[in-house]
Amino acid sequence: MGRVTVKTIAQAVGVSPSTVSNAYNRPDQLSAELRTRILTVAANLGYAGPDAAARMLRSGRAEAVGVLLTERLSYAFSDPYAIGFLTALTAVLERYQTSLVLMPIGYEAPHAGGLRTPDVTAVRQAHVDAIATLCLEAAHPAIELAKARGIRIIGTDIDPDPNSSWVAIDDVEAGALVGRHLTELGHLRVGVIADTGYPSGTVSTGLSIDDISCTVCNARLRGLAGTVDELMIVSGGHNTRESGAAAGGALLDDPKQPTAIVGLSDVVAIGVLQAVEARGLRVPDDVSVSGFDDVPAAAEMGLTTVRQPIWEKGRRVGELLLDKDLEPRQVLLPIELVIRGSTAAPRRPR
């Protein structure tokens, strides 16, 4: 027998080719008895199923969406914020049998002078209907390439472009919430730990806001800067507990030790708690510590933080990814300062 096709099966069963196609792609359109009969005949004839690539070419749809990550791929499976966001997003996608493609954006080998160019190969080769972004600035080369390819973009940061689509929080106001809280407690010198994207434990000190390219971190820093007398900005590399511990240690060992330390994520702030304990110090007696996002571990650790609706953000992004006509296309979600036992008035001014 030659190549078995949908027409071959249709002739053998005595139905139309579209009915055979429905047995695979729209089973709800057929009775259970008819679908079973079609699949049985197909199996006996050695038919492996419809050609997914051909189906996508005919429909013009990939039936898949992507998520661009500025972090390593492991971030999606280890960071509690990313886990919560992606879990909510995929809960929406699975209802419509749509696949998810994780697309980490790494860097090519450094050029002369140590410059690092983003590797956008994943976007160049991706076959997806739309892409969501996590902590990528609007002008990032990966986003520009996706737009040039005609791929819809759903951001997770505020974008002033009136034609953009995003679900976000006001990260500048989130930073201001923490800054006002610490200032009201009497803290004048505040250490802040930002993400530079370098390997965990890569400590950089004496940074300025302009040195921080991560959109979320930069916005939170601007909010803090507008409400705090003095900021000491450092980094420990990637957004991990290890980075928080390394950078937190550098701040605690500095002769100008701040009276409060802010991690620009809860994960980093929890690393700071480890550095405090390792030095025989106590929170908040010796130093106050706060974070952002309110991941589950923040409550367990008694961490003061800014709560954002992570699940709701993932759900709304998923809906916008699937439906290009859904309104509104720009969604600003609420935030809340959650004060716990990790912050208090400084015991003595420094």
DSSP string, 304-317: EEEE--HHHHHHHH
CA distance 143 to 153: 8
Q: What is the pLDDT of residue 58?
A: 45
User: Global pTM?
Assistant: 0.79
- Tokens 């509104």 found at: 328
pLDDT (tens digit per residue) in 64-113: 999 988 766 777 788 999 999 999 999 999 988 899 999 887 665 554 55
Half-sphere CA count of 214, side-chain side, radius 13 A: 22
In the chain, what are the domains? 6-50 (1.10.260.40), 64-169+310-332 (3.40.50.2300), 171-308 (3.40.50.2300)
Q: Phi then psi for 72, rounded to 5 degrees?
A: -65, 160
Instruction: Number of helices (H) and strands (E) in the chain: give both, helices first.
Output: 14, 13
As to burial, measured by CB atoms within 10 angstroms (0-12 exposed, 13-18 middle, 19+ buried), residue 46 is exposed
Q: Alpha-carbon torsion 194, 196, 202, 206, what sign? A: negative
Which residues in the chain land under pLDDT 50?
A: 52-59, 111, 350
Q: What is the pLDDT of residue 57?
A: 40
Q: What torsion do the CA atoms of 265, 266, 270, 275 make, to the nearest 10 degrees?
A: 20
pLDDT (tens digit per residue) in 130-170: 999 987 777 788 888 888 888 999 999 999 999 999 999 99
Of 56, 58, 133, nearest in space to 98 by CA: 56
Q: What is the pLDDT of residue 350?
A: 47
> Which structure tokens are listed for 33?
């008895």
Long-range Cβ contacts of 41-44 (<8 Å, 24+ apart):
41/9, 41/12, 41/13, 42/4, 42/9
